[in-house]
Each structure stands twice: as C-alpha cells, then as structure tokens.
Amino acid sequence: MDKNTIIGFVLIGIVLFGFSWLNRPTPEQIEAQRRYQDSIAQIEMAKQAEQEKQQADPMASFNNLPDSVKQDRLSSSFGSFATAMTGKEEFVTLENEKVSVKLSSKGGRVVSATLKEYDNYKGEPLVLFDQEESFFDLSLVTAANQRVNTKDMFFTPIKGNDPNAVTMRLQLNEGSYLDFIYALQPDDYRMDYSIKGTGLNGVLSPATETLTLTWVQDIRQQEKGRKFENRYVGLYYKVANDDVENLSETSNDNKSVKESLQWIGYKDMFFSTVLASKDGFTDVKFDSKMYNAGEYMKNFHTTASIAFDLNGTKSTDFQYFFVPNKYSLLKDYNDIVSDGPELRLEKLVPLGWGIFRWVNQYFIIPLFNFLGSFIGNYGWLIFLMTVIVKLILFPLTYKSYMSSAKMRVLKPYINEINAKYPKKEDALKKQQETMALYSKYGVSPMGGCLPMLIQMPVFMALFFFVPNAIELRQQSFLWAPDMSTYDDIIHWSTTIPLLGNHLSLFCLLFSITNILNTMYTMKQQDTGQQQMPGMKLMMYIMPVMFIFIFNGYSSGLNYYYFISG
C-alpha cells in the first residue's frame, strides 16, 4: 500500500469521525427518545396484560355494561353459548372410603381431589390439588366459527339416585346440551368421566370431529425432603400398544407426541393423578417446569386432541385415577381393561431398568408383600428380608470368601515369585509363574469379584425399591419417625453444600460400617500383589462419600444398607 492510499484512508476516517461527532444527539434528544421508547413499551405491556386478562376472564369486558347491552354483546361474541357465560358457581362432592372429589359447576370440572387414608408430612389431609392449582378446559368451535372454552361457562349439576354420580350439563338451546358425566367407583381410587353432546348439530362447527383438551396442574410438596422428593416428580404417559415414557424429572422439559396415548399421569413421589382415554389422546404437547422453592414442586401442562361425536350417538370416555403409587394396587388396574392393551400404571413406580426391575418385580416385591402379611413393623420386616436375601445369596458369598482365603494361603508363594523376578523386564515371567501357581491350586484371581458382581442386581434393585415403597411412608422405627425420608436427628439452620442442613444417623452408621468393612476386607484380601496407585485410598474415600450421597435419602434405605453391611 503506497503513501497516498494511507493518507486517503486517514482523511476518510477523520471526516467520518468529525461528521459523527458534529451530528451526535444532544442530552435532551437522548432523554426524549428514551421517554418515547418507554411509553411504547408501556403501551405494549398494557395491551399484553389486557389480552392475558381477557383470556383468563373473557367476561371482564362485559361486567360493567347495562343488562340489555350486555346480553346483545354476549350473543354476538358467544352465540348459542351466551346464556352459559353467566351464572353462580356451585360445588358437588363425590366421595367414598378412599377419595373425596370436588366438582365445580363453572367449567364442569374436577377442582379438588383428597386421599382420605393419607396425610402430608405436616399431618394435614393429603390434597392432590385444589381449585387454584389445577386447570381443565375443552375448546369448542361454534357453527359461526367462534371459539369458546368450557372453563368459562356454567354447567348445571344433575344428581341421580347414585350419590357418587353426577352429570354436569351445559344447557344451550332447547334440546341442545353438553354433558360431563362423573361416577366415582365404590371403595376405589377410580372415577369414570364421559363427555356426550346432544343436539349440537348447528351449534358447533359441522367439521367438529375432535376437541382440544388443556390440562394443567401444580404438584404439591407432600414429603419432608423436598430435594429427594423432587427426583421422583414427573409427567408420565403411556403410548398406545407401547411402553410408558416420561419427561425429564431433573430439568424443565417439553415434548410433542404424534402417537396416540392411552393415558397421561401427573406423578408425585408417592401419589399420582392419571387421566386415561378409551379412544386415546392425539397431537399431544407436554410442558414441565420446575419450581425452585415454595410449596409446589413442578407445573405440568398438557394440550391434546380427543375424539368427539357431534351427532351424540357415542360418548367420549375417560377414567380418572387419584391413586397412591403402590405397585400391587396399580398392577391390579390392568384387569379393568378387557378389550384393549393393559394400562401398565405400575410403571409409575420407578423400580429401575432392565434386570433391576425384573429382580424387584419377581423377587423383592413378592418377598416384601409376603413378609408384610404377618409382620406389622416395617423396620423388622426389612431386617428379616435382609437376612433372607443374605441366606439366598450365601453360596455366592461363600465362594467369594473361600477364594479370598485361598489367595491368603498362597500369599507366601506369591511373595517368593515377586522376589524371584524383581526387574520390570521379567514382568511377563512373573505373571506366567503366578498364573501357573493359581492353576495348580484351583484359584482364580477373579474368584472373589465375580460372585460379588452377581449380587449387584439385588443390591441395586433394593436401591430403587426401598425409597419408592409407599408402605414405608410415615412408618416409624427406632429413632426414625418416617422410614420414607431422612432421619435428621442432628440438624442446623444453615445449608452445607452437598450435605444440606442435617445429618442422618442411619446414613452415618451405614458409612461407618462401610469404612470398617473396607479396612477388614483389604486386610484379609492382601495377597502381596501390587495394587493400582491410589486404589487403597479410593476404597476409603467411597464410604466417606456415602455420607454426602445418601444423607438426603430415605432412612429405610440407609437402614437396609447398614444392617446388610
């Protein structure tokens, strides 16, 4: 680049800088621009707030109008549904020995469900959700292409001879109505729910074959350990003719599902609200959001399409389940479906995957239920179950101990071989002679490890089963008032990273036992062979880490690990 070109670029830069500096806005102009932008933002926020208010309460803009004007406006906005937009909210309660369900005439929906046999960790009645924590709506399109929502309309409760059944009727024109039919089954956690229209031709759009369902619910904290409970709170769903799947339980998540779904479940650690459809949910969109603090754990949001017969010859049938997550109870519900695929609600109980779940299904749970039939104290039940498991696994344990014993007997000979081949270049000869010695006396270096590895499926199966066994919930043993959560006999006000604000005694005993067992095992298994650098230290670090890992886990699990050790 020559001298003239450089001078030219410098002059152009000076001109641009000078132009920008001379034409910069004054402070007054900057302030005026800021006020203008703020006013625009305020107007947009006001519009957005008004739209949200209108969506939440479409009647807000009609409330202050004279009656004559109000009725005309309602008719033009909602057509045949205008008369249903005003009314007085009434409540109907259906209850049996197990559950109490409250229905509201506004929206004709379930607004509360309470399980009578359970309390939350505060000792209060266990309410799955109430009116402010749940939302259920069907979106309808009228013949005039107007969109209306059942959540905004008032239904009329119609009671029959059955005290545990009610029809919520949305009366439109003469002979035209939409029914929500509820029937709570006796001594059960199940409630039938049907949607049926009568005389809706000419009222709804003739293209109506499906309705859009929206279901939202906040999940309450029901257990003492919020962090531990939150691991098991999730949105689950069953794909028709396929398996049960779920959204992430550890982070915010959303998903669109095109396949037909058999049921959708909002699951807490020990309790769930499930909505099952006979005809299936299609075009489903899920959204799960976590609450970092407060009385709620997560918020679940579902939109889906459901089949609807405009001619009224067929109802759209559902079943609500307001259930404790008890494996045997949920599995029994498979029998209620005789003409379709099994519900498989037992998948709401997390028993692990693959072989761990099989061990729980076919060994641990049957043994647990058998012992529970004649042992009332679950602490002693776990103790006896641990003894039985140890006895069943004794042949493998015995093999492991015998292998370790043989290795100790051969230790002097191993030392002789090590002394015979001290040089690194003789490593292959040393290994060959060592293996020949093992072969001569029928010893396998892995003989002590393989039996222990075979026991791992049982160890891991119990890791999944015990924390999720609702039978342990609010059952006391020794100093632990509730075996389903941590036994915080020592606690403090501040929060220590990883440890929390308490110390579980069963967890501490379990960790101390592990340290002692590690010391004993390493001493007994010392065969004179060199170990990997740092292996000995790692063997001691892990039991200490258990204090931080399991301190927030259920005392029942820590108790099992303690007595097992």
SS3 string, 338-386, reads: CCCCCCCHHHHCCCCCCHHHHHHHHHHHHHHHHHHCCCCCHHHHHHHHH
Give DSSP secondary structure letters for 244-284.
EEE--SSS-EEEEE-S-EEEEEEE-SSEEEEEEEEEEEEEE
Kindly tell me the sign of the dihedral angle through the C-alpha atoms of 150, 156, 162, 164: positive
Q: Please answer whether residues 480 and 506 qualify as being in contact, where contact means their C-beta atoms are separated by less than 8 angstroms.
A: yes
CA distances from 482 to 2, 410, 557 (A): 86, 49, 12
Q: Which residues, at least 6 apart from 277, have a Cβ–Cβ distance to it below 8 Å?
A: 261, 262, 263, 306, 316, 317, 318
Yes or no: say if 510 and 565 are a contact pair by the CB < 8 Å rule.
Answer: yes
Whether 87 and 81 have beta carbons less than 8 Å apart is answered as: no
> Cα torsion at 429, 431, 437, 443 (round to 10°)?
-170
Cα gap 439→436, rounded to integer Å: 5
Give the C-alpha separation, 370 to 68, whole Å.
Answer: 71
- Please list the alpha-helical segments (H only) found in 133-259: 226-230
Distance CA 53, CA 437 (A): 84
Within 8 A by CB and 6+ apart from 491, the residues are 501, 502, 503
Query: What's the confidence (pLDDT) of residue 1?
Result: 55
pLDDT at 497: 76
In whole angstroms, what is the distance from residue 561 CA to residue 410 CA? 32
Distance CA 424, CA 37 (A): 78
Question: Rounded to the nearest 10 degrees, what angle do helices 378-392 and 555-564 cross at?
Answer: 40
Task: For the chain, 565 residues long, give each residue's pLDDT as a single digit of tens.
Answer: 566 666 666 666 676 666 566 666 667 666 666 666 666 656 665 555 444 444 555 555 555 555 555 555 556 566 677 777 778 889 999 999 999 999 999 999 999 999 999 999 888 999 999 988 999 999 988 888 888 889 988 999 999 888 899 999 998 888 888 999 999 999 999 999 999 999 888 888 888 889 999 999 999 999 988 888 898 999 999 998 888 999 998 889 999 999 999 999 999 999 999 999 988 999 999 999 999 888 899 999 999 999 999 888 899 999 999 999 999 999 988 877 656 678 889 999 999 888 889 988 889 999 998 998 888 888 999 999 888 888 887 777 777 777 777 777 777 777 777 776 777 766 676 777 777 777 766 666 655 565 566 677 888 888 889 889 999 898 888 888 888 888 888 877 777 777 777 788 888 888 888 888 777 766 655 555 555 555 566 666 777 777 888 888 888 888 888 888 7
Query: In whole angstroms, how large is the CA radius of gyration of the chain?
Result: 34
Count of alpha carbons within 13 Å of 284, Cβ hemisphere only?
29
Q: Which residues contact 349 (CB under 8 A, 6 or more apart)?
A: 325, 326, 327, 330, 468
From residue 8, give the alpha-carbon distance in Å to each of 5, 17, 404: 5, 14, 88
The answer for residues whose C-beta is within 8 angstroms of residue 250's C-beta and 6 or more apart is 231
> What angle is formed at CA 382 by the lines to CA 387 and CA 479, rounded to 5 degrees?
125
Count of CB atoms situated within 10 Å of the CB of 472: 26
Cα 87 from Cα 228, distance rounded (Å) = 44
Q: Find the angle CA(147)-CA(152)-CA(155) to the nearest 5 degrees.
A: 110
Determine the straight-line distance between the first and last CA of the chain, rounded to whole angstroms. Answer: 81
The verdict on pTM exceeding 0.85 is no
CA distance 458 to 363: 9
The answer to whether 410 and 435 are in contact (CB under 8 A) is no
- Nearest CA to 433 out of 447, 451, 415, 406 is that of 415
Asked if residue 95 lies in contact with residue 316, where contact means CB atoms within 8 angstroms, the answer is: no
